[in-house]
Amino acid sequence: MARKISYSQAINEALALEMERDDSVIVMGEDVCGGRGTDQPLDAWGGVLGVTKGLYAKFGDRIMDTPISESGYIGAAIGAATCGLRPVAELMFIDFMGVCLDQIANQAAKFRYMFGGKAKTPVVIRTTIGGGFRAAAQHSQCWYPVFTHIPGIKVVVPSSPYDAKGLLTTAIRDNDPVIFCEHKALYALQGEVPEDSYTIPFKQANIVRAGKDVTIVALGLMVHRASEAAALLAEDGIETEIIDPRTTSPLDTETILSSVEKTGRLVVVDEASGRCGMAADISAMVAQKAFYALKTQIEMVTPPFTPVPFSPVLEDAYLPDASKIATAVRAVLEQKKIPAAS
Amino acid sequence: MPKQWKKENLLKAYRTMREIREFEERLHIEFATGEIPGFVHLYAGEEACATGVCLHLDDNDKIASTHRGHGHCIAKGVDIHAMMAEIYGKKTGTCGGKGGSMHIADLDKGMMGANGIVGAGPPLICGAGLAAKYKGTGGVGVAFFGDGASNQGTVYEAMNLSMAWDLPCFFVIENNGYAETTSPKYTVPGVENLADRAKGVGMPGITVDGFDFFAVHKAAGEMIERARNGGGPSLLEVKFTRYYGHFEGDAMAYRSKDEVKKIRATVDCLLQFRNKVVSAEMLTSTELDAIDQDVKALVDDSVVKAKAAPKPPLSDLITDVYVSY
């Protein structure tokens, strides 16, 4: 029986192993150590959610606290990456991308192409995504589609401790800018994770569950919601196949397409907004490339087109869940519209 | 001032400023023919800054530039033929024709890129300073930005971050008096010198006359050496003006008709330099004239070659988005 650790510990372990392996890897972010400038012991936080806790003891000043100054330090991480370091910058919440988007979208993403293939920007920006924490509209979003839209960036959305460690290791060793999206609701999730270092290639979807009736594509926390739905549906003899793309850019379209060619039916589940999001992107890709394999309509299970609400009753209604996913799967099987929410 | 200089350094300084001036004056002419695609922002008038700063740097030092970047490129040693070809969108350009005037970069020369986003360079240069400090290279990072960019949050953030991390960085405000069309008198009312911004982050800041090459060179030298020796970052404001519009094609309705004419005839950086070194008997007019001719021939040749150079093949459209796919 392999050792079990949490998603959060898996990320911490990947960082530690890569820092041991390669001196050019540094970690920076707001309070990634914590307590600097006070008369109290350092490592006060290890990041706001404790993911980098303990790294300071091993790596000292390679764990760099920053002012609350996202444009400044995300830009510095990008600049340092072009000068031979491999910075891993933590952005506390993906919602804060608004204050440093230029450095990512116009600088890091463009250097290689714009400079004629001469630049290399091996930076990883670790950030948190997702709702369910009653953190409301500015601390709960799933903005990975924004970055998936931009050529020159790679985007990772791990759904398990095993994937988190392997994909982060790949991200740190990769020579392109990577946005690494950690779902807050998964940090405590336990799973089997090898102690040694390992990589998981980008653009390699994980078939989480095999089935013949309907393909469900889901990312991050939604992989788990889809699995719950699949268990419900299995009680009625409906066999769903769950595909977790793991990286949205590059996207493993082949695994999705071959699954749809087998099942003839597609439901895409995403916690991000449905408009111009991953659900729309994957649905369009399948409609374009596997239209003749489809037996029925494609369904998308996404939140309503609203900001993330605060009140628990509203947020619960906002988030996709197993029941909504099961309803969509049944609608696809019956070629009927999803009934309006009561 | 020139008396303390070695002759070869004076010749190099003059040649660099002349290369920038000739390059920009020629682009002004060539752009009007319609053969150059896109936008071009000329650095003519500001040569003393790029030259005065970059003479203190080598390939190990990094600079971040602006949309008005040709002068910084030339002063940092980027090949003029490759620059001209880039501006013409040719395969032989610095970036293979994929960047253009606003994105010329040559990382081997420590030139981290002209930049189409106003104020984007200073955070990047903190990264360059961090890498130099971390690796112990002895290098410094220099961010050039304009009076307009000095109002961007990124500039303040970068200056502050460089203090928090004690980085070998140097920040240079090129105050040419116009953020596109708008004067700092409107955007930063009541502030005589933008160098005062340094006080807000606790770093030294001084203002120099940007038409005086020797003043820029001296001030920059002291601040760069300070950074290089672990003394921390500082801010230099260089005051001058640009001789052309914000971009080529700008009718400049926001400036008086004789403003540039008067400056060219009185305080122009090349004119002042020539007068000082000749009157100090460090260089002769003949030597300087020879450089003028040499540089003219060089820029002529760069235009001829750029026009004749091959366009990028269409296969280049989809290459080099990523290092690995």
Residue-range domain boundaries for chain B:
2-318
Selected for mutation to probe chain B from A65, A115, A149, A204 (highest B CB count within 10 Å) is A115
Name the CATH architecture for the domain at B2-318. 3-Layer(aba) Sandwich (3.40)
CB within 8 Å: B105 and A119: yes
Q: Which residues of A are catalytic?
A: 139
Q: Is B186 on the interface with A (CB under 8 A)?
A: no
Spatial distance between the Cα atoms of A313 and B195, rounded to a whole number of angstroms:
53
**Residues A278, A243 share a domain:** yes
Selected for mutation to probe chain A from B60, B91, B134, B201 (highest A CB count within 10 Å) is B134
What CATH code is carried by the domain that includes residue A137? 3.40.50.970
- Residue A288, in any domain of the structure: yes
**Residues A123, A74 share a domain:** yes
pLDDT for B216: 98
Look at strands A190-192 and B234-239 and give their pairing: unpaired
Residues of A within 8 A of B134 (CB-CB) are: 26, 80, 85
What residues make up the domain containing A330?
A: 206-334
Look at strands A214-217 and A240-244 and give their pairing: parallel
Nearest of B247, B250, B251 to residue B39 by alpha carbon:
B247
**Residues A102, A14 share a domain:** yes
CB pairs under 8 A between A and B: 151
> CB-CB: which of A107, A113, A154 is closest to B120?
A107
pLDDT for A16: 98
pLDDT for A1: 58
CB within 8 Å: B128 and A80: yes
Residues 6+ apart with CB under 8 A from A96: A70, A127
Least Cα separation, residue A117 to chain B (angstroms): 5
Low-confidence stretches of chain B (pLDDT < 50) are none
Taking a contact as any Cβ pair under 8 Å apart, which residues of chain B between 148 and 167 contact chain A? 153-154, 157-158, 160-161, 164-165
**Residues A178, A271 share a domain:** no
> CB-CB: which of A76, A79, A115 is closest to B103?
A115
**Residues A185, A235 share a domain:** no
**Residues A109, A237 share a domain:** no
**Residues A55, A85 share a domain:** yes
Give ∠ CA B6-B12-B18 in degrees, rounded to 5.
Answer: 140
What CATH code is carried by the domain that includes residue A244? 3.40.50.920
> CB-CB: which of A76, A83, A175 is closest to B161?
A76
Inter-residue contact B320 to B95 (CB < 8 Å): no
Residues 6+ apart with CB under 8 A from B231: B225
Q: Which residue among A192, A218, A233 closes a domain?
A: A192
Residues 6+ apart with CB under 8 A from B218: B1
Residues of A within 8 A of B141 (CB-CB) are: 79
Spatial distance between the Cα atoms of B37 and B39, rounded to a whole number of angstroms:
7
- Tell me which chain A residue has its CA closest to the CA of residue B118: A102
Nearest of B175, B78, B84, B171 to residue B128 by alpha carbon:
B171
Selected for mutation to probe chain A from B87, B115, B130, B133 (highest A CB count within 10 Å) is B130
Residues of A within 8 A of B117 (CB-CB) are: 102, 106-107
**Residues A139, A21 share a domain:** yes
> CB-CB: which of B64, B107, B120 is closest to A102?
B120
Backbone angles phi, psi at A132, to 5 degrees: 100, -5
**Residues A139, A108 share a domain:** yes
Helices (H) and strands (E) in chain B, counts: 11, 5
**Residues A315, A233 share a domain:** yes
pLDDT for A339: 77
Is this complex's ipTM strictly greater than 0.90? yes
**Residues A56, A180 share a domain:** yes
**Residues A182, A74 share a domain:** yes
CB within 8 Å: B161 and A73: yes
CB within 8 Å: A118 and B113: no
> CB-CB: which of B98, B125, B324 is closest to A114?
B98
In the three-class reduction of DSSP (H, G, I as helix; E, B as strand; rest coil), residue A15 is classed as: helix
- Tell me which chain B residue has its CA closest to the CA of residue A29: B161
CB within 8 Å: B122 and A119: no
The span from the first CA to the last CA of chain A, in angstroms, equals 45
Q: Is B77 on the interface with A (CB under 8 A)?
A: no
Spatial distance between the Cα atoms of B295 and B8, rounded to a whole number of angstroms:
16
Q: pLDDT truncated to tens, each residue of chain A (342 aa)?
A: 589 999 999 999 999 999 999 999 999 999 999 999 999 999 999 999 999 999 999 999 999 999 999 999 999 999 999 999 999 999 999 999 999 999 999 999 999 999 999 999 999 999 999 999 999 999 999 999 999 999 999 999 999 999 999 999 999 999 999 999 999 999 999 999 999 999 999 999 999 999 999 999 999 999 999 999 999 999 999 999 999 999 999 999 999 999 999 999 999 999 999 999 999 999 999 999 999 999 999 999 999 999 999 999 999 999 999 999 999 999 999 998 887 764
Domain count, chain A: 2
Selected for mutation to probe chain B from A22, A31, A63, A83 (highest B CB count within 10 Å) is A83
CB within 8 Å: A75 and B153: no
